């Protein structure tokens, strides 16, 4: 047992003794509040909710609270009956300052409890539902997403409940084509196998649902909604699992407006004036409480100091273990790794990290020169955010053994703990992202369509080499414009292998504990296994999204449509099918031929199901062949149910 544990154990024991003593010294019904010494603050055993005026326990004096706020203690929960037919609801929180409380269903199905539940709005009812009411009659079908973006308070919405016959497990965002995004709400706790209950806006068309057999179960059902952060999709609405209620201040009632004492229910449960004096805590209790607080503060301070010292030492031990793993890896793969430098060497070659080229979540990149021959290099100094060296090992273990014209070359590294760095050949034209997303229009016109084709073809060849050119297949998992560097001739080179995985060429299916990649380029199967297995086809999808970005479809379509929320690849597909112009800057027939080829290849690559995507070998062959031999791919934007019914089409390798 180390010294940290020897110190922490007795301190923890002292804290336990303190809490046990405090529970005995301070009664469960503590000092009286503003409603007299006979109206103590209470709690249910096992629940931290404070029960005080206007709430009261069943055995409390009548003037301590109103009958409508009478609560009971059941199974370590504070329960309240909201109406004569509602049954008991557990209370999650009470906000006495805002005069609000929140209830939920103990079985996790609030919609079931609300099917036959109403709260009267007459003057005798002291609490009511604390929501804004919203009718879809005054809200257009398409405006709910934007409403959810600005929703700042809870909302009760008039919905229609549908009973749909389907074996699908529908979710709120089941359709990733943005057709139904946030427009219907599956209620799983009301559903049974073969039948899914959906909450649906009454102004919307049932024909828009992803299932065809639905019947109306209940109309004008009011259910609570809340706004949730959907990361890359902004804010969305979802069914709330809590019901908020609020009560009126007593001074709003006529009999309380001129009350000189306290306004509260009398023996007849009518609101009136109550003049009982406040109680006073004894000086002995104050002394005991003060001494207890001081003792607790002292013990806590010592415990915190020992704890932080222990954490610091544990972190140091963990860093040493991680460094041993890194050193073991470098020793086992010394024949494949490039030159190793000390951190002092790194500092010299970057002239004290004088010129920064860029930075990101991985760390910072600096310009430098190799000490022997003066070759310009880019030095990436890794941050400690991951700490375990996983990104560092991935980069050195994968890119260190790669030699290809379209893959950036790793020239060296530093492996000192907390000071790890990677040394690459310097790309004078930086990344592709600077040219295809730049606000400077002159950057977007540097490349003609033939040059764009060459860049795309080079990227495809680089990915094909990763998949087939080494002893083991390398899956990149982060193909995007920022990770495509450009040399002095604007030839593309794939970089950043921090998320890469090695696997067998015979079986490229890999298991993943969490999604990896960049939003917008991640293949569907990476974050949802229902689409298929994660494999080399995941890189194919990312490549397809990259190509659509390169050809400018996204930017030009947004300008043409006047709506930045349009899903651009889908619009491009529809224009190709209908024989319409792509709204790209095309000066010659050859430009048109190249643009159509790039878009068709990209659409093949972004098929939802991995089996429908071509391997990179076939992609290179398509890019180097004539456009007249390319066939239109299946619609990658059809609904999930429609795609399931379609025969899957594959391209041979």
User: Which residues are part of the catalytic machinery?
Assistant: 478
Instruction: Of 90, 244, 240, 91, give the one whose Cα is nearest residue 159.
Output: 240
- CA triplet 397, 398, 401: central angle to 5 degrees? 90
What's the CA gap between 83 and 90, in Å, rounded? 14
Structure tokens at 167: 């074996």
Distance separating alpha carbons of residues 206 and 202, to the nearest angstrom: 9
- Token pair of 69 as six digits: 């706020």
Specify the 3-state DSSP secondary structure of 594.
Answer: helix
244 in Cβ contact with 129 (< 8 Å): yes
Nearest-10 Cα torsion for 28, 33, 38, 44 = -30
Q: Tell me the C-alpha distance between 90 and 25, whole Å.
A: 29
Nearest one of 89, 136, 94, 137 to 117, comparing CA atoms:
89
Judge whether 380 is annotated as a binding position. yes
Within 50-101, where are the H helices?
Answer: none
- Calpha distance 605→619 (Å, rounded): 8
Q: Cα torsion at 108, 113, 115, 116 (round to 10°)? A: 180
The rounded Cα 648 to chain-centroid distance in angstroms is 31
Determine the Cα–Cα distance for residues 398 and 388; give it in Å rounded to an integer.
17
Report the DSSP pairing between strands 242-247 and 127-129: antiparallel
Name the binding residues for ATP. Answer: 380
């Amino acid at each position: 047992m180390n010294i940290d544990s020897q110190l922490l154990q007795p301190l923890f024991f002292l804290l336990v003794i303190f809490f046990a003593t405090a529970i005995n010294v301070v009664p469960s019904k503590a000092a009286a509040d503003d409603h007299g010494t006979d109206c103590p603050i209470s709690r249910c055993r096992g629940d931290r909710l404070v029960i005080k005026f206007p709430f009261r326990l069943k055995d409390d004096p009548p003037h301590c609270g109103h009958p409508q706020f009478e609560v009971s203690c059941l199974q370590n929960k504070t329960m309240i009956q909201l109406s004569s037919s509602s049954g008991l609801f557990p209370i999650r929180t009470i906000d006495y300052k805002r005069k609000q409380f929140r209830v939920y269903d103990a079985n996790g199905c609030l919609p079931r409890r609300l099917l036959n539940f109403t709260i009267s709005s007459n003057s005798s009812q002291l609490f009511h539902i604390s929501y804004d009411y919203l009718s879809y009659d005054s809200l257009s079908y398409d405006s709910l997403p934007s409403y959810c973006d600005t929703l700042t308070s809870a909302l009760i919405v008039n919905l229609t409940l549908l009973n749909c016959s389907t074996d699908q497990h529908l979710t709120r965002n089941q359709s990733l084509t943005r057709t139904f995004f946030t427009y219907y709400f599956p209620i799983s706790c009301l559903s049974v196998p073969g039948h899914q209950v959906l909450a649906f806006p009454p102004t919307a068309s049932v024909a828009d649902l992803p299932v065809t057999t639905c019947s109306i179960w209940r109309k004008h059902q009011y259910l609570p909604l809340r706004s949730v952060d959907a990361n890359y999709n902004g804010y969305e609405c979802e069914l709330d699992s809590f019901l908020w209620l609020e009560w009126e201040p007593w001074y709003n009632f006529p009999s309380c407006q001129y009350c000189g004492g306290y306004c509260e229910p009398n023996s007849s449960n009518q609101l009136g004036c109550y003049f009982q004096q406040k109680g006073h805590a004894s000086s002995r209790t104050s002394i005991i409480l003060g001494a207890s607080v001081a003792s607790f503060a002292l013990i806590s301070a010592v415990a915190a100091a020992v704890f932080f010292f222990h954490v610091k030492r544990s972190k140091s031990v963990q860093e040493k273990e991680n460094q041993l793993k890194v050193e073991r890896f470098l020793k086992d793969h010394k024949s494949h790794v490039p030159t190793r430098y000390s951190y002092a060497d790194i500092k010299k070659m970057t002239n004290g990290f004088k010129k920064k080229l860029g930075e990101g979540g991985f760390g910072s990149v600096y310009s430098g020169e190799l000490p022997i021959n003066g070759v310009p290099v880019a030095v990436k100094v890794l941050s400690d955010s991951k700490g375990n060296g996983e990104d560092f090992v991935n980069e050195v273990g994968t890119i260190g053994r790669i030699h290809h014209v379209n893959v950036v070359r790793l020239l060296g590294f530093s492996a000192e703990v907390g000071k790890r760095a990677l040394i690459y050949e310097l790309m004078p034209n930086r990344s592709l992202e600077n040219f295809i997303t730049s606000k400077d229009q002159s950057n977007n016109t540097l490349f003609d369509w033939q040059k764009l084709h060459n860049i795309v073809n080079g990227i495809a060849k680089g990915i094909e080499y990763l998949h087939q050119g080494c002893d083991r297949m390398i899956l990149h998992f982060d193909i995007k414009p920022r990770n495509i560097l450009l040399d002095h001739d604007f030839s593309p080179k794939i970089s950043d292998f921090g998320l890469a995985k090695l696997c067998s060429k015979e079986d490229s299916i890999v298991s993943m504990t969490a999604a990896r990649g960049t939003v917008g380029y991640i293949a569907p199967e990476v974050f949802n296994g229902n689409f298929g297995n994660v494999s080399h086809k995941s890189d194919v999808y990312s490549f397809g999204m990259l190509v659509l970005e390169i050809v400018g479809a996204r930017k030009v379509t947004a300008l043409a449509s006047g709506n930045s929320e349009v899903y651009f690849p889908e619009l491009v597909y529809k224009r190709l099918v209908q024989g319409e112009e792509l709204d790209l800057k095309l000066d010659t027939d050859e430009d048109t031929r190249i643009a159509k080829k790039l878009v068709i290849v990209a659409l093949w690559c972004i098929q939802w199901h991995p089996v429908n995507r071509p391997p990179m070998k076939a992609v290179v062959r398509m890019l180097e062949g004539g456009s007249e031999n390319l066939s239109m791919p299946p619609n990658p934007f059809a609904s999930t149910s429609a795609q399931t019914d379609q025969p899957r089409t594959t391209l041979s390798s």
